[in-house]
Each structure stands twice: as C-alpha cells, then as structure tokens.
Structure 1
Amino acid sequence: MPKLGMEEIRKDQVIKATERCIVEKGYSNMSVKDISAMAKVSTGIIYHYFKNKEDLLLQVLKESFRKSHEQVMETVEPLRTFDEKLMKHIENINRVPVDNPDFYAVMLNFLGQTINNPEINGIIAKFFGNLRSYISQYIQDGIEVGRLQPEKAKHLSALTVALGMGIGMQWIVDPESFDIVDIEESYKEMIESYILLKE
C-alpha cells in the first residue's frame, strides 16, 4: 500500500472532521471555524486544500459514497451467482444504518440541499445511479442463466435500493420503531417474492 503524503493525510483529517461536524451540528449549523477546531488545524489549512466550504462539503459527500461502494465491492463481487450477490447486497444495504450510521446522517443532511444545489444533486444522483447500475450487472447474469424473468428485472435495481434505503432512513430517524436486524429477512423475502426466483 503506497505511503500517504502529508497533503493526503491533512485532506483526510479535514474531511473526517467535517463529517463529524455534519453529524453533530448539521449541514446548516456548522462553520469553517467549527471544522478547523474539530480537525485541530487552522482555517488557512482548510482553504489551502479546499476552494471553499461548499467544495469541502462536496468532498465529504463523495468520500462517504466511496466508502459505501468499497464495502459492497469487497463483499459482493467475490460471490459467484446472481442469487448470492443479490442477497449479500441486501444484507449490506440493511446493515449500513448499524455499521455506519454517519453515512445516513450525512446523506439526510445533503438530501435537503438537492433541490437548490445542482452539484449536490448531481453527486447524489450519480451515487444512486452507480448503485442501480452495479445491481443491474448481476441482474443480467440472473437473466442469462435463467434464474430471473426479464420482465421482473426492469425495476429490480431501483426497488432494491429504495426499499433498503427507506428502511435505513426510518430506522435512523426512529430506531425504536423496529428491529433493523430482524427486518432483513422480510426485506429479502419481499424481493424474492417480487422476482419469483426460478428453481
């Protein structure tokens, strides 16, 4: 693994501190001063590495999505069959709120900005697009080997993401409303029932 230079270390330090500020204070309530205090660096260092506060916030969003994507690639990609990949992907999506609650805190903070900020909208749209596209790759495998009916494949990637993230957002907002671990089986059953897996 290549050794990180000081620039990358500093940038990562600032990005992590910004994420922490978003989680603790919220997107609209934090300042560059708050970030510099959290990162234990001067505001000058922040402006040296990032054009402005918005540039920094966009980097936080990109980094959050990058980590989520890496987790999926590490656990889903090595599997061989369509069924295994789909079920493992569902497990991954369902466990994000527990394993990485900051992801949802960041996501919820940024979602409110998508209407008025085309750049944030573009990053989030790309994230959802990448998720759907990745699922679509192994959906195609399922069709080719005869495990999935083509008419059920059309919206499967969007439905898988929507159901998983909807569960996650509900649980982050109200964790007492249901057991996030327990609901995973129901999530899988709903998708399996929808696609009518061929034996």
Structure 2
Amino acid sequence: MPKIGMEPIRKEQVIEATKRCIVRKGLANLSIKDIAAAAGVSTGIIYHYFENKEDVLLQVLKESFRTSHEKVMQTVEPLPNPVDKFFAHLENINAVPKDNPEFYIVLLNYLGQSTHNPQIRKIVTKFFYNLRSYTENYLRIKTEADPTAACHLKNLPVILYALGLGLGIMWTLDNDFYDIEEMGESLKEWLAKYLDLTGKGPQDGSVG
C-alpha cells in the first residue's frame, strides 16, 4: 500500500519518466510497462495514482505546459514595463528549443494525437489561447494610448507565436537549419521596428 504523503512525489516520478519515454520512443509506442520501468515503480503504483494510460499522458501534457509557463513568468512578471515584458517573453520563446529541447519533442508527439483526441486538443488549444492572451496584455498599454495602433497590432500575438512555434519545431528537428541566436536577434529587431520602438513606424501596416 502506498505510503501517506507520497502521492505528489510518485506522480512527479511517473510524469517525468513518461516524458523520457516519449522522447526516447514516441507516444504511439508507449506502454504502461515502459513507464513503470522508467520510473522504477510497479504498474500497480501507476494505476493507484492515475486512472489509466490516457490520464498519465494528459497529466504529462499539462505538466509540460505548466513548467513552460512558470519559467516564463519567473523572468517576465518582475519587469515593470509592458514592453520589457513583451521582449523578455519573446526571448523565452526563442530559448525554449535550446534550453528545454524535450518540450518540442513532447509537443510534436501530442499534436499528432490532437486531431482525434478531444481532451488533448482542448489542452493544446488552451495553451495557445493563454499565449495569445499574455502578449495581448503586454501590448494593451500601447493600443490604449494610440487607438490607431490597435489595427496594426490586432493579429501580432498570433503571428508571434506562429513564428515561435514554427521556428522551435524546425530547430528541434534540425539544429543546423538556422542559427538560433541570430534568429532571436532578428526577431527582436523586426518587432522593435514594427512596434515603433526605434523611431520607425509599421511598414505600411503590412503586419497584423
């Protein structure tokens, strides 16, 4: 019988082991026995803390997004200026493939399941909505101060994350596809110009 107070420890142990298994052999080929072996526990322990394999996998996805969110908030939230928050958030997005390479490997595995698994799709889309919301909040002070900017900035949060996720996936699959540091600087330079932070306005409103 599991010891009292062990639930958080065991759950984390199983979740981390499941991540390692996904990275090593993929989601489609994963079994509860694989997870148990990687975690160093019995299958009975896993079924004590999780309803079934799908429950384990859903918790892994939630934990991956939660960890990513917490890391961003630790660096972004202390900053008082919304513009500084925006660029710190951008730097975090660019750094994910290099600093947390498992994230995109795990995400790619789940994206393949999301089209026919409503629960996975719900978690993934909520993650995307949250990302958009953060950036909208950073930009709100600019759009409120200059109503004409709202038109140019309306779609910027979605474009930003489409770029970030796309670039992250490409770099994860092939580290030589582009220079990740150089790309980060290029994105910051482009966005600074677009947000009129260098004295230059949006390029004919072509973005957003």
Q: With structure 1 as the length reference, what TM-score do the two structures score?
A: 0.93
The whole-number CA distance in structure 1 between the counterparts of 2:69 and 2:138 is: 15
The answer as to whether partners of 1:148 and 1:196 remain within 8 angstroms in 2 is no
Let me know the Cα RMSD of the aligned residues: 1.8
Report how far residue 143 of structure 1 moved: 2.1
Residues 141 and 148 (structure 1), Cα distance of their counterparts in 2 relative to 1, 3 Å cut = farther
Alignment of 1:77-92 (within 5 A): 77-92=77-92
Letter of the 1:100 counterpart: N
Report how far residue 88 of structure 1 moved: 0.8
1:63 matches 2:59: no
Deviates more, 1:182-191 or 1:125-134: 182-191
Name the residue aligned to 1:149. 149
1:17 matches 2:17: yes
1:100 matches 2:100: yes
* Secondary structure at 1:28 match in 2: coil
Letter of the 2:167 counterpart: I
Letter of the 2:138 counterpart: Y
Report how far residue 30 of structure 1 moved: 1.4
The whole-number CA distance in structure 2 between the counterparts of 1:192 and 1:54 is: 43
Name the residue aligned to 2:121. 121
Name the residue aligned to 1:40. 40
The answer as to whether partners of 2:14 and 2:35 remain within 8 angstroms in 1 is yes
The whole-number CA distance in structure 2 between the counterparts of 1:46 and 1:148 is: 55
Name the residue aligned to 1:53. 53
Report how far residue 198 of structure 1 moved: 7.4
The answer as to whether partners of 2:36 and 2:46 remain within 8 angstroms in 1 is yes
Name the residue aligned to 1:182. 182
The whole-number CA distance in structure 2 between the counterparts of 1:193 and 1:22 is: 40
* Secondary structure at 1:144 match in 2: helix
Residues 147 and 80 (structure 1), Cα distance of their counterparts in 2 relative to 1, 3 Å cut = farther
Residues 147 and 90 (structure 1), Cα distance of their counterparts in 2 relative to 1, 3 Å cut = farther
Name the residue aligned to 1:110. 110
What residue ranges of structure 1 are gaps of 5+ in the alignment?
A: none
Instruction: Tell me the matched-pair count.
Output: 196
The whole-number CA distance in structure 1 between the counterparts of 2:129 and 2:48 is: 32
Residues 21 and 37 (structure 1), Cα distance of their counterparts in 2 relative to 1, 3 Å cut = same
* Structure of greater Rg: 2
The answer as to whether partners of 2:97 and 2:172 remain within 8 angstroms in 1 is yes
The answer as to whether partners of 2:75 and 2:88 remain within 8 angstroms in 1 is yes
What residue ranges of structure 2 are gaps of 5+ in the alignment?
A: 200-208
The answer as to whether partners of 2:83 and 2:139 remain within 8 angstroms in 1 is no
The whole-number CA distance in structure 2 between the counterparts of 1:119 and 1:68 is: 20
